[in-house]
Amino acid sequence: MTDPIRLGQHRLPDGRDLAWAEWGPEDGTAVLLCPGAATSRRLGFGTDVVDALGIRLISVDRPGLGASDPAPGRTLTDFAADIGELRRAVLDSAELAVVGYSAGGPFALACAAEGVAVRAAVVAGADEFASFDSGLPDDLRDMVELVAADPAAAEQSFAEFGSADALWQLITRSSPEVDLAVYRAPGFEPVFRRAMADGFAQGPAGYARDTVLAMSRWPFAVADVRTPVDLWYGGLDTSPSHSPDHGTTLAGRLPSARHHLVPDAGGSLLWTHAGAILRGLVGADR
């Protein structure tokens, strides 16, 4: 895992700064990463292949995370608007592909729904759990019901949990060995944990807001998303929030989805299968 080769911030029309990191050639095909829960822009993926593929990989700090200014009360649609402004001002309105990892999945789909991205990939991503009538684990169902009943109380509850150490413990407790081998690797763990520490640098409010948005009804109909979407799930993933079962249900609701189930991978396939994910986005495997 390599450090970003460029860091940037853009002043949005409402005065907030949106921060990002980059790898790969500046004139490459733009691919934007929506990182996982409370993870900052400094953790990329596929950084060893972006040059060969001609990809300009951009990882963005969502509002309130890392170096991006907070935006209390923000929505998934607001995030897509921020990325649309970034695309206009920084990328000269070039075509943009977007990747959403884990809790970043809903943010990537929002960009697809709003026409900000021309292609998307959701990797080990969460589905719209608020639309499920049944089939959710008890803990996940409790979170969805709390958000539906009292979003403000839910956001406060998530903020009280939120810290980089608590998130690391949750990830390592719920991950299979195939993922722990990635997360605890000497060249990966320090970068991963630093990115989570950066994610909480402004406190837990950004993480809490993201969680509320993921657990709420989304402000777009998944079935109306016509942008091509690659769905990537690992067959050994044991996380209740992005198990391979959710990839199957999401694929059934997205009219233009290509569903990839990798039998011997876990939730860490963003890193173990980065080349295939990126080649799919830029058309190298089509």
For residue 174, give its domain range.
Answer: 6-282
In a domain, 254, yes or no: yes
pLDDT at 90: 93
For residue 80, with 0-12 CB atoms within 10 Å meaning exposed, 13-18 middle and 19 or more buried, which class applies? buried
Give the whole-number percent of the chain exceeding pLDDT 90.
87
Position 285 confidence tier, pLDDT thresholds 50, 70, 90:
low
| CATH number of the domain enclosing 276 | 3.40.50.1820
In a domain, 275, yes or no: yes
Overall number of domains in the chain: 1
In a domain, 186, yes or no: yes
Position 17 confidence tier, pLDDT thresholds 50, 70, 90:
very high
**For residues 2 and 82, what is the distance between their CA atoms, to the nearest angstrom?**
26
**DSSP H or E stretch at residue 260:** strand 257-262
Please write the tens of the pLDDT for every residue from 171-197.
998 899 999 999 999 999 999 999 999
pLDDT over 80 at 101, yes or no: yes
pLDDT at 33: 98
pLDDT at 174: 87
In a domain, 152, yes or no: yes
pLDDT at 239: 85
Average pLDDT over residues 282-286: 65
**For residues 238 and 225, what is the distance between their CA atoms, to the nearest angstrom?**
27
pLDDT over 60 at 207, yes or no: yes
**Which of 121, 142, 113 minimizes the C-alpha distance to 130?**
142
In a domain, 1, yes or no: no
Position 286 confidence tier, pLDDT thresholds 50, 70, 90:
very low
In a domain, 99, yes or no: yes
Tell me the CA distances in angstroms from 167 to 127, 156, 177, 246, one per residue in order.
Answer: 20, 16, 18, 21
pTM for this structure? Answer: 0.96
**What SS3 class is residue 7?**
strand
pLDDT over 90 at 74, yes or no: yes
Q: Which residue has the higher pLDDT, 242 or 80?
A: 80
**Which of 146, 163, 148, 123 minimizes the C-alpha distance to 31?**
123
